Amino acid sequence: MGILEKISEIEKEIARTQKNKATEYHLGLLKAKLAKYRAQLLEPSKSASSKGEGFDVMKSGDARVALIGFPSVGKSTFLSLMTSTASEAASYEFTTLTCIPGVIEYKGANIQLLDLPGIIEGAAQGKGRGRQVIAVARTADVVIMMLDATKGEVQRSLLEKELESVGIRLNKHKPNIYFKVYNKIDQISMEEVDRLARKPNSVVISCGMKLNLDYLLEMLWEYLALTCIYTKKRGQRPDFTDAIILRKGASVEHVCHRIHRSLASQFKYALVWGTSTKYSPQRVGLTHTMEHEDVIQIVKK
Ligand SMILES: Nc1nc2c(ncn2[C@@H]2O[C@H](COP(=O)(O)OP(=O)(O)OP(=O)(O)O)[C@@H](O)[C@H]2O)c(=O)[nH]1
Ligand SMILES: [K+]
Ligand SMILES: [Mg+2]
């Protein structure tokens, strides 16, 4: 019997086994067996044909965020909750075997969220699909390191060690910015939640009970440091339906390039309304730094 058949047999048996106290132990064994076979599917294959399979997801939207964590911490549950994409979630490990993209729409920006297979110790050395997962993480603007709040600190330090050993360093600079998300806080005490929430660069959530997800999005937005700029034509209202999304610190020149390649060369001055100026509107030049939700009107020569 091949691995896929074995997996399918076990899945069928799990499905037809009633869940109760008497079957708990048996179900636990079945899930462990299932995880073992699924982990084998993740092992780097000898044949070149399956190399990188399913991991080449096109970059899209204004920013890319990757979900990294050990198996069954809730990565797929999170993706399905935050985007319109459904990624299979289940109570056994290695449910996800490829990279699954979804889109979070937030403050006018399209943020690409990537669900990935769980990584295991030794991922950095290529265990499981470790190399591919880490390669995807490197292409992300922000990495969300998801942890199981019930699993204690061992998990966090293992994961940090794993990521740092391949040079993904904690909050040094893009593209290696990451923050930690402790999921399943519905399973731990309030004191423990409080302790985790106070850790640096950490957010606590429960996908199961939809707790603190708004705050997580706010944090993500902050880490991404994106800026939305609205344009306005002379004598007209600003177009609030179509924001130009830029990195934090972007200048008027960046805005020009986004509108049209040749606009900067025809630029005379711009009028800006918003927090980046002392007066609204204020006349500014190409080097002026824009801030989130500024409105700009460009005057050509
Ligand atoms: N109690 C609780 N369970 C959760 C929560 N989020 C997810 N789960 C459960 O955790 C289990 C694993 O969830 P998945 O989304 O499959 O986890 P994953 O990290 O994608 O797992 P792999 O793809 O196998 O690495 C499922 O049984 C989920 O229902 C939560 O906030 N609270
Ligand atoms: K799982
Ligand atoms: Mg998954």
Pocket test for ligand 1, best of 7, 67, 207 (most atoms within 8 A of CB): 207
Mean pLDDT of 110-117: 96
Whether 12 is covered by a domain: the verdict is: yes
214 and 293 inside one domain: no
Answer with the one of 118, 137, 166 that is the final residue of a domain: 166
Whether 53 is covered by a domain: the verdict is: no
Residue that has been written with the tokens 């899945």 in this structure: 11
Task: Say how many domains are in the chain.
Answer: 4
Give per-residue pLDDT as tens, 211-236.
999 999 999 998 998 999 999 999 99
112 and 207 inside one domain: no
256 and 199 inside one domain: no
Give per-residue pLDDT as tens, 237-276.
999 988 899 988 899 999 999 999 999 999 999 999 999 9
Instruction: List the CATH number of the domain containing 68.
Output: 3.40.50.300
Whether 56 is covered by a domain: the verdict is: no
162 and 101 inside one domain: yes
242 and 200 inside one domain: no
Cα(53)–Cα(59) distance, rounded to whole angstroms? 16
- Ligand 1 site residues, Cβ closer than 6 angstroms: 69, 71-77, 89-91, 93-96, 117-118, 183-184, 186-187, 206-208
101 and 146 inside one domain: yes
Q: Is the pLDDT higher at 25 or at 137?
A: 25
**Domain carrying residue 114:** 63-86+95-166
CA of 91 to the centre of ligand 2 (A): 5
109 and 153 inside one domain: yes
